[in-house]
Amino acid sequence: MPPINIKQTLSAYALIVLCCSAPAVVAAEGNWPSPEWLVARPTEVGMDVAQLNAAKQYSLSAGGSGMIVRHGKRILQWGDAKKRYDIKSATKSFGATMLGVAIKDGKIKLTTPAARYHPTFGLPPASNASTGWLPKITILHLATQTAGFEKRGGYEKLLFEPGTQWHYSDGGPNWLAECITLAYRRDLQDLMFERVFTPIGISRDDLRWRDNQYRDHHIDGIPRREFGAGIHANIEALSRLGYLYLRNGRWRDQQIITAEFVRMAGRPINAVVNIPEWKSAAHGNASDHYSLLWWNNADGTLARVPRDATWAWGLYDSLIVVIPSLDLVVVRGGERGRQWPRSEGENHYRVLEPFLNPIVAAVGTYQAAPYPASATITNVQWAPKNEIVRLAEGSDNWPITWGDDDYLYSAYGDGWGFEPKVEKKLSLGIVRVRGNPPEIWGQNIRSTSAERTGQGADGIKASGMLMVDGVLYMLVRNAGNAQLVWSTDHGKTWTWEAWKWSTSFGCPTFLNFGKDYANSRDEFVYIYSHDNASAYQAADRMVLARVARDKLRIREAYEFFKGLNHDRHPQWTADVQSRKAVFVHPDNCYRSGISYNAGLKRYLWCQTLPQSTDSRGPRFQGGFGVYEAPEPWGPWRTAFFTTKWDVGPGETSSIPPKWMSEDGTTIHLVFSGDDHFSVRKATLTTQ
């Protein structure tokens, strides 16, 4: 794999935004320790006591102390709050904070080779010089565990060319500490107390930094500190550093580190993601969820924890966990010689689940977006709800495709279609639509070979529509599980294939491109569904199939997505049992519609959330997400997400390519809200 391209990496960072597409948690930014934390009962900040106690008991199973802060108030604490713990590698995130200060001061640049700050960088051992790699190592490599130094924190040898692999090391961060020490020519402990600790209320009783354990105690007469380990701190100190990051680097009116740096520290680095780990058995897919000396959950490895969660983590399971979408800081001081039990071969994040899962669950009805915020689509502005076009009252569903005759073809369920309505309520009826919003007209296409009756799950209904080479294809659900139907005369007569999907694919939908499948990415047709045999039961994940466009009617021609290889290329299998997730959102993968936005070169996937407070379901109340990706298989990012839209989002929704502007920034959502053919305009802000 080629080394990290530093300039591309930092350009990508310039586009990164916080995952604010999730429902907003009102951050109590006026709440600051003065000097003590404000205190509240868990129920006063919307948290369940039983769930919190479950997390507390798991924490105490290995001793130590802990604290949980929400909305700027301490809502739970256990153990000895004053005891200083040897937080081991959680020190690295304190070091990252000093790096943030140095960047803000203009003393350090991520793109600069480390040797420019340190005349004897990487030496000893002398063998490092003979590799030719030392001049290539940048500050960013040191801060992302991609510099290549061995694990221990002394004068360690290089294992690989910088940027080509990921390896958890104390040696690299310790060289970073020396670079910053020489840039300021000051003891980093004194500097941190001056610039960070004292301003946020951490005293020398709360935290001390030991002398360097691996190297000489001084460098050029200046005390030499470590970033790999070395800080002893109580949970008060840990909570305040976490709160600094929760508030985007600001403490009261003082910006201690920049908000941009906080975002960088909490998000994976594109150039690092998926590079091989030097010892994968120890840290699994660590390169997918590690940034500037902070761990994160951006790849969703912890399925029930928000993806904007980030944490410092040291031996004995000392933790500083920051979850912006929940306005939450969770800290733990780990007891020396004790840690939570691990099982050989399990993912290295697995040990955190019994602690973090109940804390997140304690928030109750809150639901975070499943993927990080999009760096391409930074805002979705919906037209006022009084401008929504609503036709075909009493009918829902509406999968839609762009025909070769410039009509949009769709299908309704449990209704009577457009005016003039059909005489009998249908579970499946065919329509076509002409015009452009807001001036659109719908027409029912009567077809004895397509129309079906039966209410709800008792009636066959359309879940996907696609025109390819003049042939109109329809995927239908409630057919045990799903079935393919096709028409060569624009929806008047239909042929039903004899074969069906009997495994998963209970509500399949087509990926739509342009008019009559124009401008498709290749010669395949792509089909998505939640991973369930029933259209009425949510799943934990979405799955994907593909088939050559000229073999749509041949079941044996279909292939199923089975994940990405190390080069991030999709892998396919003819065995449906070997399918893998293309999208993960536990208990929330349901009905969806997906299309390609040619102007933005992005795939836009609309997914309805299954929950609703209205007995009639999401047609009248609920939420949905719009996710974007550069490829049909991801990586997915959140363009829009809400659990409570200002109108019912409908059971299904999609964004027809016909109704997208040339530059892709104006779109129209077709959805079944309020039991209508509903159309709502949106304007996208892009970077």
What are the sequence ranges of the domains in the chain? Answer: 6-362, 377-686
49-60 and 353-362 are packed helices; what angle lies between their axes, rounded to 10 degrees? 160
pLDDT in tens, 619-659: 999 999 999 999 999 999 999 999 889 999 999 999 999 99
Res 270 pLDDT > 60: yes
Alpha-carbon Rg of the chain, whole angstroms?
28
pLDDT in tens, 226-237: 999 999 999 999
State residue 19's pLDDT score.
36
State residue 18's pLDDT score.
35
Main-chain phi, psi angles of 218, to 5 degrees: -130, 150
State residue 10's pLDDT score.
52
Omega of the bond leading into 173 within 30 degrees of 0 (cis): no
State residue 4's pLDDT score.
53
State residue 28's pLDDT score.
54
pLDDT in tens, 128-151: 999 999 999 999 999 999 999 999
Measuring CA to CA, which residue among 390, 394, 430 is closest to residue 410?
Answer: 430
Identify the weakest region by mean pLDDT among 2-11, 31-40, 447-456, 508-517. Answer: 2-11
262-291: average pLDDT: 85
206-218: average pLDDT: 95
Res 23 pLDDT > 60: no
Q: Is the pTM of this model over 0.75?
A: no
The torsion defined by the Cα of 135, 140, 142 and 143, in degrees rounded to 10, comes to 170
Q: What is the CATH number of domain 6-362?
A: 3.40.710.10
State residue 285's pLDDT score.
80
The three-state secondary structure class of 584 is strand
Distance of alpha carbon 642 from alpha carbon 253, whole angstroms:
31
Q: What is the assigned CATH class of domain 377-686?
A: mainly beta
Res 7 pLDDT > 70: no
Contacts with 306 (C-beta within 8 Å, 6 or more apart), sequence order: 19, 22, 297, 323, 325, 326, 360, 368, 369
State residue 29's pLDDT score.
59
